[in-house]
């Protein structure tokens, strides 16, 4: 059977591979262009006029209609999720998410489902959100609404969980795991880097530090159908269910969706009993705790320098906008390469990295919002890795100690506003935004773009921005650095001479993968 390959591996941030060292040695001057401020106030911003329809039993349907769309999209977000079950059930929960489709539903097995959805251009998938909730998402042409809804009805209410599908899922998951072990792409490398960074910051027993262990063959093989069926029975409930429908659909279509939601069983509230711990290793935080993962076939080192702030606290809306601007100044997500601090230092001035990228995350352990982290990720030739680390750390310290200029603030604010004006938002983007806000416990905004533009436009005081930035220099910090590559002994000696670093250990990649095999 031609089953699609399904993996439990969590996704990580990806970055383009660096070119060879010679290609980095450019003698062309960096181009700097001052962005032209566009008039966002001259635009009439239409409201997102969504409708909320409650359904007896604790569910709600959020609808956003479009008379011009040719398709529709429906999303079910079930309450509870991963954190309503013991941590030991995480792998089984992922299996449930996959097997509700892979195991067939209604009168169809997976092959028949694939053939049917392919014939009518229907997309239907199940997944787990970053916050642990189980989600079903489906879309199709408006004329195929009855066909899609029939599939979703059977998926939710009549899953088959065929016995042979579990064996196939296990084999495919193990194959995906073995494919991860060679770490021959940057995406795979960052999986191991994430694990090691989490161990340094939170300890080896932390939930995020075990993400590879949870998909290892020994754990995969222990998943049983009894676990999966128990998770299904405790997850599929209309109590706390949020449903979104967007695009082109009729009143009859909406009524049939409402009837489906009404048929979903009612269970008592699914309460989360735990979250990933926010307790951090703060005892040795004066220097950057550093590890090197040796991989002999890598000509470039992949690097992640992270500054964790364990008591950062929750940002208000003003601070959130300010940190968006600070992130843009330090590492721009658009515009001319070399205008921001990080790419200017790592690429334009030194030619030491082709792919520097930094970003801030104040919801790393959401909803445990105390912890914030600034990521500085890049690649560099093995023979220049010590120089690259020195430049990266110096660039960061200068940024938080000296602050930013009025010109940097003005350019960043204008660039961010202009990018938003150039972006197109479809009815499906808007419905996704509504669901995102609901999942975070927020009331969906009817005009989020205009409000975001207005908040950006208000940020004109560099003094206020630098006062917010000062929080990074004044806050307690847990810095960690993970290098995966093949630096020689000379480069390792140079790394040890950098006062800001504390090199904990150097390990071969094989020593990290061996316990999982």
The tokens for 337 are: 């390469």
Instruction: State how far the Cα of 2 lies from the Cα of 415, in Å rounded to an integer.
Output: 47
Mean pLDDT within 393-411: 96
Give the Å distances, CA to CA, from 119 to 112, 140, 262: 11, 11, 29
Tens of pLDDT, residue by residue over 79-137, are 989 999 999 999 999 999 999 999 999 999 999 999 999 999 999 999 999 889 999 99
pLDDT at 416 over 60: yes
CA distances from 341 to 185, 239, 373, 382, 443 (A): 27, 48, 18, 23, 36
Q: What is the pLDDT of residue 319?
A: 93
* CB neighbour class for 51 (10 Å; exposed up to 12, middle 13-18, buried from 19): exposed
Whole-angstrom distance between the N-terminal and C-terminal Cα of the chain? 27
Nearest CA-CA partner of 354 in 388, 380, 318: 380
d(CA 213, CA 216): 5
Kindly indicate the confidence band of residue 493, based on its pLDDT and cuts at 50, 70 and 90: very high
Q: Check residue 22 and give its pLDDT.
A: 38
Q: Model confidence at 25, in pLDDT bands (50, 70, 90)? A: very low
* Mean pLDDT, the chain, integer: 89
Helix (H, G, I), strand (E, B) or coil at 480: strand
- Are 7 and 183 spatial neighbours (Cβ–Cβ below 8 Å)? no
To the question of pTM greater than 0.95 for the whole model, the response is no
More confident residue, 97 or 34: 97
DSSP-based three-state secondary structure for 314: coil
pLDDT band at residue 284, thresholds of 50, 70 and 90? low
What is the band of 11 on the pLDDT scale with cuts at 50, 70, 90?
A: very low
The predicted pLDDT at position 171 comes to 97
Out of 1-5, 255-259, 420-424, least confident range: 1-5
Q: Which residues partner with 246 through β-bridges?
A: 64, 73
Over range 333-360, report the average pLDDT.
84
**Look-up: residue for tokens 């601090």?**
341
Residue with tokens 């951090």: 280
Q: How many C-beta atoms lie closer than 10 Å to residue 25's C-beta? A: 10
Position 408 confidence tier, pLDDT thresholds 50, 70, 90 = very high
Band (334; pLDDT cuts 50, 70, 90) = low
């Amino acid at each position: 059977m031609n089953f699609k390959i399904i993996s439990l591996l969590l996704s990580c941030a990806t970055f383009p591979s660096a070119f060879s060292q010679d290609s980095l040695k450019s003698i062309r001057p960096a181009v700097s262009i001052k962005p032209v401020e566009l008039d966002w106030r001259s635009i009439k911003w239409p409201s997102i006029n969504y409708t909320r329809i409650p359904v007896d039993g604790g569910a709600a349907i959020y609808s956003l209609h479009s008379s011009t769309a040719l398709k529709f999209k429906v999303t079910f977000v079930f309450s509870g999720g991963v954190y309503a079950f013991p941590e030991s059930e995480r792998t089984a929960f992922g299996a449930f998410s996959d097997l509700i489709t892979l195991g067939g539903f209604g009168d169809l097995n997976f092959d028949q489902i694939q053939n049917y959805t392919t014939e009518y251009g229907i997309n239907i998938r199940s997944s787990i959100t970053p916050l642990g909730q189980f989600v079903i998402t489906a879309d199709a042409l408006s004329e195929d609404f009855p066909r899609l809804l029939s599939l979703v009805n059977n998926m939710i209410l009549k899953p088959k969980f065929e016995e042979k599908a579990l064996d196939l899922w296990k084999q495919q998951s193990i194959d995906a795991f073995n494919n991860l072990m060679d770490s021959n792409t940057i995406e795979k490398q960052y999986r191991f880097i994430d694990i090691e960074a989490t161990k340094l910051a939170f300890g080896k027993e932390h939930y995020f530090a075990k993400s590879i262990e949870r998909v290892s063959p020994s754990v995969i093989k222990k998943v049983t159908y009894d676990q999966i069926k128990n998770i299904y029975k405790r997850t599929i409930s209309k109590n706390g269910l949020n449903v979104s429908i967007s695009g082109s659909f009729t009143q009859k279509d909406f009524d049939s969706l409402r009837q489906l939601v009404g048929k979903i069983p009612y269970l008592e509230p699914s309460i989360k009993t735990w979250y990933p711990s926010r307790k951090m290793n703060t005892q040795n935080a004066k220097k950057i705790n550093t590890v090197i993962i040796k991989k002999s076939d890598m000509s470039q080192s992949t690097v992640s320098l992270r500054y964790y702030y364990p008591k950062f606290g929750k940002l208000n809306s003003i601070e959130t906008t300010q940190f968006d601007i600070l992130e843009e100044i330090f590492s721009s997500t658009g515009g001319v390469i070399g205008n921001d601090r990080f790419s200017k230092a790592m690429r334009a001035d030194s030619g030491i990295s082709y792919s520097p990228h930094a970003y801030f995350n104040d919801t790393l352990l959401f909803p445990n919002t105390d912890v914030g982290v600034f990521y500085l990720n890049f690649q560099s030739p093995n023979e220049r890795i010590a120089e690259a680390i020195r430049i990266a750390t110096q660039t960061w310290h200068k940024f938080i100690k000296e602050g930013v200029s009025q010109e940097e603030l003005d350019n960043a604010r204008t660039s961010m506003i202009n990018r938003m004006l150039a972006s197109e938002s479809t009815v499906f983007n808007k419905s996704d935004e509504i669901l995102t806000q609901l999942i975070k416990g927020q009331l969906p905004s009817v005009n989020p773009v205009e409000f975001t533009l207005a908040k950006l436009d208000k940020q004109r005081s560099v003094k206020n921005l630098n006062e917010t930035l000062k929080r990074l220099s004044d806050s307690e910090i847990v810095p960690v650095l993970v290098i995966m590559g093949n630096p020689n002994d000379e480069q390792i000696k140079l790394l040890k001479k950098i006062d800001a670093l504390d090199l904990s250990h150097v390990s071969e990649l094989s020593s990290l993968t061996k316990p999982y095999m």
